[in-house]
């Protein structure tokens, strides 16, 4: 059987390992799009026709009695579906909040009596959000450690000093990029536990690069069949009349690792979560993924870019540049002026769960911008210059065509609300990684006034300095809520990045927004900032790491558990009590309840008091391991070398595979 030239090249590159520069005839790998032979093109078309799996390509369905339409959120941010679901979920959280507060008791405070007194009004109860940052596998796995610690189903999570039950008490759970992989994978796999995902041999197996197939995995699929399967699915989408982008490839790759189904579950959609029995009964939080807009023709995103959210019911934005939501299930349908014409078909299946997760982590425009702006720093050292030139040229071409994004064409917001809508005149809606504007922690969904979130537990695994966080994301969100780019949101004051480092605010949990006495408008949520820090393992992997062995995976998860529990409260024995105080803080305000003395002590210890030290840190940030009981990863040196090679190969293999988009 003919093997296409670009797949031969991809195979050689992926298997070359550390001897990249020694690959025979390296110049042959630097093929141009024009070098694709007629046999290559015939291969793509033939296999798409004969072997494309059902499910990935969007398809026509019978329209419901009330035809889908674009919802104007200017008068009410929340959808009717979210409004109907919220009372169910809030009622469901009461038992879990009671159980948590019983374990993490506040001294001399009867939490059960307090909750019973306000229990008839669930809105008086704590309304809790959890936000998991972006940052590739680093963020996914550090976030997984946090979620594992928060999940009462996890072994040891309800032991003394731990925080099990916080997940069951939460109303909202947001993620973007790597954090979005975590949230998407958990919900797609029936709200699985982290420990079950890790124990499974079908998902979360990251020892093989996402670029190399799953030879050792349950599907035993080699690299050529791996890429052929992905190409088949993309060709079927094209044949159905829909644009493809590099994010289609990326999303399919993610699904192979994150979705427990054959070939990563091509039929699985994000909107199908709404029909899940557990979710519909309010027994899970509401999952929300975040993406940034990047208008066609633009090369970058800024703090003013319109923020989009994906929830099981809708895709849209509360920002003044949009204030509208499309029914996620029917994206791919040709909306015009906010509605479907009488002869327009209803489309399902566009919101493939891998594509949604890929959209939230689509940062390929940032790769090319960095490679061009600082080649000495960002261009791979161990790859022939001819290959690097090919990557740069191809990704530039994709960027010029706006194919280095997630393409949600046809634009559901075309000709709708043209006075405000920034894409009203565009046929395309193009989205990118939700952290590209600097807001790498998905705070935004929790800051919407109408959601009335009391407290956000923010797990920050950003790579701000030496792949550790420095508060930049929280600062970006604060600055945005103070601008005209965001409406109907509020966020507590946070200091500059140097202050975060100089005061050690990025080395331990910190509360922001404790004092609301001077708030003139809607009170922002209290932010419990939980920065990644080396308790038992140096988990500061590069965002572009493409493979992690099981030992490292488990070590990062263990460190994430330690980050949010402060090493099972060995760093501070009062930590669970202080978490309880944070949960109840806004509820105390609403019910005019005297703050317990223990909570006053907690707030004194953890609340940022407004002190600022903006001076340049004297030395580069290099946190030391907190615990003497560290996790030894014997193969770390070897795997680090493999990760470097795979990280470089990311650019090459994705670029070569993406050549098909130019056909």
Q: What is the pLDDT of residues 593-640, one digit of tens each?
A: 999 999 999 999 999 999 999 999 999 999 999 987 777 775 444 343
Relative orientation angle of helices 636-658 and 364-373, to the nearest 10 degrees: 100
**CA-wise closest residue to 291 among 306, 302, 303, 312:** 306
Q: In this structure, are residues 418 and 160 in contact, taking their beta carbons and an 8 Å threshold?
A: no
Going from N- to C-terminal start, the domains of the chain cover 52-203+259-362+405-631
Calculate mean pLDDT across residues 263-281. Answer: 94
What per-residue confidence (pLDDT) applies to 517? 80
In angstroms, the CA 39 to CA 41 distance is 5
Q: In this structure, are residues 526 and 514 in contact, taking their beta carbons and an 8 Å threshold?
A: yes
Q: What is the pLDDT of residues 501-551, one digit of tens each?
A: 999 999 999 999 999 887 778 999 999 999 999 999 999 998 878 789 999
Please say if the pLDDT value at position 80 is more than 70.
Answer: yes
Calculate mean pLDDT across residues 342-353. Answer: 94
Q: Which residues share a beta bridge with 363?
A: none
Q: In Å, what is the CA distance from 603 to each residue of 352, 515, 528, 563? A: 43, 10, 11, 19
At 439, phi and psi to the nearest 5?
-90, 75
Q: In this structure, are residues 97 and 150 in contact, taking their beta carbons and an 8 Å threshold?
A: no
What per-residue confidence (pLDDT) applies to 628? 79
Which residues make Cβ contacts (< 8 Å) with residue 113, sequence separation at least 6? none
In angstroms, the CA 263 to CA 119 distance is 46
Please say if the pLDDT value at position 362 is more than 60.
Answer: yes
Please say if the pLDDT value at position 176 is more than 50.
Answer: yes
Calculate mean pLDDT across residues 635-647. Answer: 42
**CA-wise closest residue to 476 among 290, 303, 294:** 303
3.30.300.170, 3.40.50.1860, 3.40.1090.10, 3.30.70.270: CATH of 52-203+259-362+405-631: 3.40.1090.10
What per-residue confidence (pLDDT) applies to 368? 53
What per-residue confidence (pLDDT) applies to 76? 92
Please say if the pLDDT value at position 365 is more than 70.
Answer: no
What per-residue confidence (pLDDT) applies to 372? 61
What per-residue confidence (pLDDT) applies to 381? 56
Q: In this structure, are residues 353 and 270 in contact, taking their beta carbons and an 8 Å threshold?
A: yes
Q: Which residues share a beta bridge with 131?
A: 174, 458
What per-residue confidence (pLDDT) applies to 39? 37
Per DSSP bridges, beta strands 324-327 and 346-348 are unpaired
Relative orientation angle of helices 364-373 and 385-400, to the nearest 10 degrees: 130
Relative orientation angle of helices 80-103 and 575-591, to the nearest 10 degrees: 130
What per-residue confidence (pLDDT) applies to 547? 84
In eight-state DSSP terms, residue 440 is: -
Please say if the pLDDT value at position 291 is more than 70.
Answer: yes
Kindly report the number of other CB atoms within 10 A of residue 123's CB atom. 12
What per-residue confidence (pLDDT) applies to 519? 72
Look at 88 and 656; give whichever has higher pLDDT.
88
What per-residue confidence (pLDDT) applies to 295? 73
Calculate mean pLDDT across residues 457-479. Answer: 97
Kindly report the number of other CB atoms within 10 A of residue 121's CB atom. 11
At 607, phi and psi to the nearest 5?
-75, 130
Please, which pLDDT band fits residue 218 given cuts at 50, 70 and 90? low
Please say if the pLDDT value at position 657 is more than 60.
Answer: no
Max avg pLDDT among 239-243, 248-252, 449-453, 539-543:
449-453
| Least confident span in 85-94, 235-244, 587-596, 644-653 | 644-653
What is the pTM (predicted TM-score) of this model? Answer: 0.88
| Least confident span in 356-365, 540-549, 570-579, 630-639 | 630-639
| Least confident span in 193-197, 333-337, 368-372 | 368-372
In angstroms, the CA 215 to CA 223 distance is 8
Half-sphere exposure of residue 550: CA atoms within 13 angstroms, side-chain side = 10
Q: In this structure, are residues 566 and 605 in contact, taking their beta carbons and an 8 Å threshold?
A: no
Look at 320 and 376; give whichever has higher pLDDT.
320
Look at 305 and 23; give whichever has higher pLDDT.
305
Please say if the pLDDT value at position 555 is more than 80.
Answer: yes
In angstroms, the CA 618 to CA 613 distance is 12
Helix and strand tally (H, E) in the chain? Answer: 22, 14
Render 230-251 in DSSP notation, one character per residue: HHHHHHHHHHTT----HHHHHH
Q: What is the pLDDT of residues 139-168, one digit of tens each?
A: 999 999 999 999 999 999 999 999 999 999
**CA-wise closest residue to 237 among 343, 352, 315, 346:** 352
Q: What is the pLDDT of residues 486-506, one digit of tens each?
A: 889 999 999 999 999 999 999
In angstroms, the CA 551 to CA 530 distance is 24
| Least confident span in 65-69, 217-221, 321-325 | 217-221
Q: What is the pLDDT of residues 29-76, one digit of tens each?
A: 333 333 434 433 333 332 222 222 358 999 999 999 999 999 999 999
């Amino acid at each position: 059987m003919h093997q296409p030239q670009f797949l031969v090249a991809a195979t050689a590159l992926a298997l070359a390992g550390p001897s990249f520069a020694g690959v025979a005839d390296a110049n042959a790998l630097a093929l141009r799009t024009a070098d694709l032979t007629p046999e290559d093109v015939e291969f793509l078309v033939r296999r798409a026709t004969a072997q494309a799996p059902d499910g990935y390509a969007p398809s026509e369905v019978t329209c419901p009695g009330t035809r889908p339409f674009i919802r104007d959120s200017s008068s009410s941010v929340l959808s009717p579906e979210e409004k109907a679901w919220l009372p169910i979920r809030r009622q469901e959280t009461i038992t879990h909040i009671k159980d948590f507060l019983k374990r993490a008791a506040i001294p001399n405070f009867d939490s059960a009596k307090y909750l019973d007194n306000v229990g008839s009004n669930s809105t008086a109860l704590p309304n809790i959000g959890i936000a998991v940052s972006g940052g590739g596998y680093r963020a996914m796995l550090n976030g997984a450690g946090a979620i594992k610690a928060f999940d009462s189903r996890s072994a040891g999570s309800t032991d003394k000093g731990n925080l099990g039950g916080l997940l069951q008490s939460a109303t909202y759970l947001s993620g973007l990029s790597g954090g979005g992989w975590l949230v998407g994978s958990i919900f797609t796999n029936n709200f699985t536990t982290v420990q079950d995902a890790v124990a499974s041999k079908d998902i979360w197996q990251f020892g093989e690069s996402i670029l190399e197939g799953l030879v050792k995995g349950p599907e035993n699929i080699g690299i050529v069949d791996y890429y052929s399967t992905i190409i088949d699915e993309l060709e079927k989408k094209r044949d159905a009349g829909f644009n493809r982008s590099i994010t289609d490839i990326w999303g399919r790759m993610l699904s192979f690792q994150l979705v427990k189904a054959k070939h990563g579950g091509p039929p699985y959609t994000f909107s199908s979560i709404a029909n899940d029995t557990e979710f519909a009964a309010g027994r899970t939080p509401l999952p929300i993924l975040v993406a940034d807009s990047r208008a066609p023709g633009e090369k970058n995103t800024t703090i003013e870019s319109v923020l989009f959210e994906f929830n099981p019911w809708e895709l849209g934005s509360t920002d003044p540049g949009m204030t509208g939501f499309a029914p996620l299930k029917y994206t791919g349908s040709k909306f015009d002026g906010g509605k479907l014409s009488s002869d327009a078909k209803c489309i399902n299946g566009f919101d493939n769960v891998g594509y949604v997760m890929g959209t939230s982590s689509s940062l390929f425009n940032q790769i090319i911008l960095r490679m061009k702006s600082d080649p000495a720093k960002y261009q791979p050292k161990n790859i022939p210059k001819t290959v690097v030139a090919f990557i740069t040229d191809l990704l530039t071409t994709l960027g010029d065509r706006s194919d280095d994004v997630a393409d949600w064409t046809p634009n559901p917001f075309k000709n709708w609300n043209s006075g405000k809508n920034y894409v009203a005149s565009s046929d395309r809606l193009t989205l990118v990684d939700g952290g590209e504007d600097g807001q790498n922690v998905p705070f935004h969904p929790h800051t919407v006034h109408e959601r009335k979130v009391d407290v956000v537990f923010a797990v920050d695994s950003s790579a701000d300095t030496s792949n550790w966080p420095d508060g930049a994301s929280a600062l970006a969100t604060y600055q945005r809520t103070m601008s005209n780019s965001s409406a109907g949101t509020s966020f507590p004051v946070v200091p500059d990045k140097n202050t975060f480092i100089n005061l050690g605010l990025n080395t331990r949990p910190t509360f922001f927004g404790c004092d609301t006495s001077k708030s003139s408008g809607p009170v922002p949520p209290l932010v419990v900032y939980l920065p990644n820090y080396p308790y038992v393992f140096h988990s500061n992997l590069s965002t572009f790491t493409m493979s992690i062995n099981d030992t490292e995976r488990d070590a990062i998860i263990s460190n994430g558990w330690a980050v949010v529990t402060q090493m099972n409260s060995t760093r501070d024995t009062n930590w669970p009590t202080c978490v309880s105080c944070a949960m109840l803080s806004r509820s105390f305000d609403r019910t005019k309840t005297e703050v317990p003395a223990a909570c006053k002590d907690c707030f004194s210890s953890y609340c940022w008091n407004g002190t600022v030290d903006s001076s340049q840190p004297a030395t580069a940030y290099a946190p030391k391991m907190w615990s003497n009981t560290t996790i030894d990863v014997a193969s770390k040196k070897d795997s680090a070398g493999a990760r470097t090679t795979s990280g470089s190969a990311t650019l090459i293999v994705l670029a070569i595979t993406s050549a098909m988009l130019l056909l």
